[in-house]
Structure formats: C-alpha cells, structure tokens
C-alpha cells in the first residue's frame, strides 16, 4: 500500500475497529420495544467509554427510512415489533473517522433484502483496488440487487473518508452512473449499498435532528450566539445531534435551542441532515464497511 504522507494508518485502523465493535454492541440492543433514545445513547456511550469521540450521531433508521434518523432528547419511540432497522455508527479519534452500518430484520420477512445488501457490499469490496473505476463498482452493486429482485437506491452511495471530512472527494454509486473516477492507492473509502423493494430513490423527510457547522453568521440573539459558540468549541465541524445540546446546555430550553438551530441554519452557518425516506415507501436495507485501498485489493478496517 502506498501511504499518504499525512495519514496515520494505525489510528485509522484503530478508529475502524472501535466503530465496528460499537456497531456490534448496538446490534445486540436492537430488540422489539427497545427505546431508540436508549439505544443511541448506549452506543454513543460505548464509544466514549473506550476513549473515542463520535464521528456523527448514531443513526437508527427504520423500515422506509434509509438514513439520518437520530432520536430527540425526549424521544419515546421504540423499535417496532416487525422493524427493519438500519444502525449506522462511527467513532472518531483526533480527525480520523470511522463509518459502518448494519441492518437488523426483526420481522423475518426481509431476509433476502438484507442479504442482497450484504452480498452487494462483499462483492463491491472484492472489486476494490487502485485504478478501479467507481462506476464499475456501482454496476456490480446494481447487478446483485436486481438479481435478487430488488433495486439499489440511486441517490445514495459510498464515499471517501478524509481527515476532518466523513463524506469526502470520491462518490461510490450503487449503480453505473458513468463516473470513471479511479480509486487511488492509500485512499480511505466507505462502501454502503442501500437496497430497496421500492422505486430506488430517497426524498427528504420533515424530521431534522442532525446538524453540522459549516461557517459563521452574524445573528442577533444572544442565545443563538451561545449555541453557535458551544457547537464550535465542542463539536468542531463534525455532525452533531440536537439532543446533545439539550443534555449539555442545561441553561437553555428546548424551544431556545430549536430556535437557535433554525436561525443558524437559515443564516447558512449550519448544514442540516433531514431523514431520508424511500420515495415510494419501499423497505430499505443498508450494509456499510470502511476500507483502505491497496494496489491490488483493500484492507477492511471496520472489522
């Protein structure tokens, strides 16, 4: 493997291992009737107790929701009895980021859908090497999905993982989108096939609980300035959950926090991550692993 001069591959592997262990811990908590807030906080606590920070809030997306659901501070929702649950987890150490995901089928009815996402992922991993075109990977993901009677979600996909940035440079599609960008030796990437029995597209839902600081803005409210300063100091430019502010800024009401987040978002200081929902209400399965691209293969680090 040709190393990038500014990469600490030992730390990258350490973060990947921690992310995967947290994912498995969370998988064991996904049971019918379990509170989503309890699961998220348990997994996030698991990561922090092992000396890591969070690359992003734990995502627990159920059934037609594909990504970006994280509980509110007072969330009372529970895992449904027949839920198809996507758990997406990432640890962070310094500016090195982990990212991995799994789907748990509590119904027993979507085993083939989950299996298709897993096989698509393993097939894609087997193709990874320096010089591989990303559309070739997408083509195989789609082939696996369609051979099982499903379709890939075309407006979601894998991504490069850089220091400071979880979704960086290269985009790895779940179908042949014609992008002939080649993977580079030493590059860190995450591949995540989203497979559905729906249309194969996601839309933005109304729920927004994940945010990321992207810049500064002149705001009038003192409370909003306080929230902005707190975010910058504690979460830097990494995604964070609104509920973290409820827990850590105890002097502010939920209303004040919501108003501040809305004002900062409107001013362009925050990026928002709405829950992504399958466009026609199809069920969604996701599998994701992170890896280092090598000359003739890759090293999976979330394992």
Q: List the domain boundaries for the chain.
A: 9-204+279-300, 207-275
Distance of CA 101 to CAs 87, 174, 289, 294, 301, Å? 5, 15, 7, 22, 13
Interhelix angle 222-234/254-266, nearest 10 degrees: 80
Please report the pLDDT score of residue 70 as a whole number: 98
Please report the pLDDT score of residue 234 as a whole number: 97
Token output for 2: 């040709």
Q: How far apart are CA 236 and CA 28, in angstroms?
A: 31
Please report the pLDDT score of residue 220 as a whole number: 87
Please report the pLDDT score of residue 97 as a whole number: 98
Which of these, 1, 78, 68, lies nearest to 35 by C-alpha position?
Answer: 78
CATH (one of 3.40.47.10, 1.10.10.10, 1.10.3720.10, 3.90.850.10) for 207-275: 1.10.10.10
Q: How far apart are CA 275 and CA 95, in angstroms?
A: 25
Please report the pLDDT score of residue 6 as a whole number: 81
β-sheet bridge partners, residue 93 = 96
- DSSP assignment of 40-109, as one string? HHHHHHHHHHTT-EESSPPEEEETTEEE-----TT---B--TT-EEEEEE-EEETTEE--EEEEEESSSS
**Mean pLDDT estimate for the chain:** 97
Q: How far apart are CA 287 and CA 39, in angstroms?
A: 19
Q: How far apart are CA 68 and CA 61, in angstroms?
A: 7
Please report the pLDDT score of residue 2 as a whole number: 54
Residue numbers of the chain with a pLDDT score lower than 50 = none
pTM: 0.96
Contact 92, 18 (CB under 8 A): no
Q: How far apart are CA 288 and CA 141, in angstroms?
A: 12
Residues forming the active site: 88, 99, 159, 167, 192, 288
Q: Could you tell me which CATH number the domain at 9-204+279-300 has? A: 3.90.230.10
Q: How far apart are CA 73 and CA 241, in angstroms?
A: 9
Q: How far apart are CA 127 and CA 133, in angstroms?
A: 10
Q: Is the dihedral of CA 252, 258, 263, 264 positive or negative?
A: positive
Distance of CA 25 to CAs 22, 40, 45, 149, Å? 5, 11, 11, 31
Token output for 240: 């964070």
């Amino acid at each position: 493997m040709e190393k990038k001069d500014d990469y600490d591959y030992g730390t990258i592997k350490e973060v990947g291992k921690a992310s995967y262990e947290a994912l498995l811990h969370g998988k064991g908590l996904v049971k019918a009737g379990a509170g989503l807030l309890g699961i998220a906080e348990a997994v996030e606590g698991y990561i922090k107790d092992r000396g890591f920070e969070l690359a992003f809030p734990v995502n627990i997306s159920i059934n037609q929701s594909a990504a970006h659901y994280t509980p509110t501070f007072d969330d009372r929702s529970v895992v449904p009895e027949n839920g198809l649950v996507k758990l997406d987890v990432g640890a962070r150490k310094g500016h090195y980021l982990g990212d991995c995901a799994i789907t748990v089928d509590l119904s027993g009815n979507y085993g083939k859908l989950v299996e298709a996402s897993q096989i698509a992922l393993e097939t894609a991993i087997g193709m990874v090497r320096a010089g591989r075109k990303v559309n070739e990977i997408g083509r195989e993901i789609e082939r696996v999905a369609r051979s099982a009677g499903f379709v890939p979600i075309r407006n979601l996909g894998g991504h490069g993982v850089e220091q400071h940035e979880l979704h960086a440079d290269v985009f790895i599609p779940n179908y042949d989108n014609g992008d002939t960008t080649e993977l580079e030796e030493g590059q860190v990437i995450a591949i995540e096939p989203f497979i559905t029995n729906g249309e194969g597209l996601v839309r933005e839902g109304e729920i927004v609980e994940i945010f990321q600081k992207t810049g500064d803005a002149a705001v009038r409210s003192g409370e909003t300035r306080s929230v902005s300063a707190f975010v910058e100091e504690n979460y830097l430019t990494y995604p964070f959950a609104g509920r973290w502010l409820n827990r850590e800024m105890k002097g502010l009401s939920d209303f004040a926090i919501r108003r501040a987040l809305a004002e900062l978002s409107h001013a362009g200081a925050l990026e928002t991550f709405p829950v992504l929902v399958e466009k026609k209400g199809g069920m969604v399965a996701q599998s994701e692993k992170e890896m280092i691209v090598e000359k003739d293969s890759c090293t999976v680090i979330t394992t």
